[in-house]
């Protein structure tokens, strides 16, 4: 594990060399704030992916080192922690993006778990598209008592595409046939 200070500008040379692959390298970005238990559940599912070339960067906004401790306990060299002084998910993402090394960026919430083929399937979908796109994934809730809890669920029937220009004059929202959700998505850098 490598922890990067918010003010550090270079990646240094302590990173393990990337394996040779014909698939694009992926940077998985997780913005988190005071949720080490969620990171402890999320991170192993990402690391279990069978994709050959990826890194995980946590944009940690937590005031204490609990998230860093979780990552250190996992001890995987593919994971880096970027300690951030800023607050807010969008700020964390914007501060972390210059530190990513992959040609593809996969962003995921810290409370999401993924199957072992998540990155491979997402990159395959991205590679099938002739123009730049954002691929949003399904969200299937964990088993829960529906009478007591509401858990978001989004399982599209198939892949949908944006039609027309993304914004029309006078409209505040893009003209989409379908819109995904931001719990996890993947795009070209």
Supply the pLDDT for residue 167: 40
Predicted structure pTM score: 0.72
pLDDT tens-place string over residues 34-88: 999 999 999 999 999 999 999 999 999 999 999 999 999 999 999 999 999 988 8
pLDDT tens-place string over residues 135-157: 776 665 556 566 766 555 545 54
Q: Where is pLDDT greater, at 140 or 121? A: 121
Supply the pLDDT for residue 89: 87
* Chain centre to alpha carbon of residue 8: 21
Count the alpha carbons within 13 Å of 16 in the hemisphere toward its beta carbon: 14
Residue 20 scores a pLDDT above 50: no
């Amino acid at each position: 594990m490598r922890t990067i200070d918010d003010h550090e500008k270079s990646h240094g040379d302590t990173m393990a060399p990337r394996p040779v692959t014909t698939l694009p390298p992926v940077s998985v970005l997780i913005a988190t704030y005071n949720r080490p238990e969620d990171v402890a559940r999320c991170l192993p599912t990402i690391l279990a992916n069978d994709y050959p070339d990826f890194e995980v960067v946590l944009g940690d906004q937590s005031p204490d080192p609990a998230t860093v401790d979780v990552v250190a306990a996992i001890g995987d060299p593919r994971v880096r922690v970027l300690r951030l002084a800023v607050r807010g998910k969008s700020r964390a993402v914007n501060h972390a993006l210059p530190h990513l090394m992959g040609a593809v960026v996969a962003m995921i919430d810290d409370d999401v778990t993924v199957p072992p083929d998540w990155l491979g399937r997402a990159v395959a979908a991205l590679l099938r598209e002739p123009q730049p796109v954002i691929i949003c994934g399904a969200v299937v809730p964990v088993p829960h008592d529906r009478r007591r809890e509401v858990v978001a669920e989004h399982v599209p029937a198939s892949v949908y595409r944006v039609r027309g220009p993304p914004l029309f004059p006078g409209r505040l929202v893009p003209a989409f046939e379908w819109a995904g959700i931001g719990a996890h998505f993947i795009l070209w850098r």
